[in-house]
Structure 1
Amino acid sequence: MTARPLARRPDDMGDDDAELLAAATALLGDVYVEGRHEVVAAMRTADGAMHLGVHVDGSARRSSVCAEGVAAGAVVAHGVTGSAEVTSIVSVLRRVEGTTHVIEPCGVCAELITDYWPDATVWITRGDDIVRVRAAELLPAKRLRRW
């Protein structure tokens, strides 16, 4: 079954973030396996680089890794730290029936993202709308970690 495309991009989503969304959606179309690879996350850094991560599900639940964590690891692995911060994040889920949705990071991934990039823009779905929020807004009562 071919996935149905997302609804029209939000009016306030710039071309760079629309490119993130398109890249995540395209990769999800390539790697999707029901129950195993259902989410792709894309992160853009201030230097313009794009880093993608794929959800990898394991038979032992603890072995599963979210797409946001994989993408975050790719950012760090490529030496994108310090002055080159993550500026935008979008995650896309494909449901079994073939629909594709922008989703909010899970709680663990929201913790990870806000540990590293609390000022990043995160695109999420609220109601029927895709909206931007500051990463720190995902966890308004989060205690900041001192590294």
Structure 2
Amino acid sequence: MTSRPPLVRPADMSDADAELLIAARTQLADVYREGRHEVVAAFRLADGRIVTGVHVDGSARRSAVCAEGVAAGNVIAAGGTVVAGVSVLRRPGGTEHVIEPCGVCAELLTDYWPDARVWITRGAETVEAAMSDLLPAKRLRGW
């Protein structure tokens, strides 16, 4: 097993959000398979629970499901509300990076939890943002 390079905790990341980073990295270490399971999303719920989701890729590219979408389904199944999240990608060389949700996942997550916070990488920095800031011109869907 390859040792994991350090993924530096941002100085302004709270201890609670650092737990999300640890949960995502730990799950990723357990399930990583190059080209199949390369991303884990970890969400903290309003009641403090942490829920994760694993990226699932398939042979037909359209069958892929992002980690954030899997985690969102797990949150709904758990009856929770997301307050914060982080997603970690492992590259084939072993480096790990905090990443932002893709556009489709940003749409999904802001449909359910627009006020949640998410950690993303901007340039060389990992920063906190409001989920709703990921899509500033989002059209709100009337449920």
TM-score by length of 1: 0.94
Question: Which of residues 108, 123, 135 is equivalent to 1:139?
Answer: 135
Tell whether 2:83 aligns with 1:97. Answer: no
Q: Secondary structure at the match of 1:124?
A: strand
Partner of 1:54: 54
CA–CA separation in structure 2 for the residues paired with 1:15 and 1:41: 17
CA–CA separation in structure 2 for the residues paired with 1:93 and 1:20: 14
Q: Secondary structure at the match of 2:70?
A: helix
Partner of 2:75: 75
1:30 Cα offset (Å) = 1.1
Match runs of 1:29-68 below 5 Å: 29-68=29-68
Q: Secondary structure at the match of 1:41?
A: strand
Determine what percentage of the aligned residue pairs are the same residue: 69
Gap regions ≥5 residues in structure 1: none
CA–CA separation in structure 1 for the residues paired with 2:118 and 2:54: 17
Gap regions ≥5 residues in structure 2: none
CA–CA separation in structure 1 for the residues paired with 2:32 and 2:4: 10
Tell me the alpha carbon deviations over residues 78-118 of structure 1, each in whole angstroms, 9 at most, x when there is no partner.
122xxxx2100100000011100000000000000000000
Task: Give 4+ residue runs of structure 1 displaced > 6 Å after superposition.
Answer: none
Q: Secondary structure at the match of 2:129?
A: strand
CA–CA separation in structure 2 for the residues paired with 1:91 and 1:33: 16
1:5 Cα offset (Å) = 2.1
Tell me the alpha carbon deviations over residues 35-88 of structure 1, each in whole angstroms, 9 at most, x when there is no partner.
0000000000111011000000011111111000000000001122xxxx2100
CA–CA separation in structure 1 for the residues paired with 2:3 and 2:58: 24
TM-score by length of 2: 0.97
Aligned residue pair count: 142
Does the Cα contact within 8 Å between 1:3 and 1:94 map onto a contact in 2?
no
Q: Secondary structure at the match of 2:69?
A: helix
Tell whether 2:7 aligns with 1:6. Answer: yes
CA RMSD of aligned residues (A): 0.8
Letter in 2 for 1:69: G
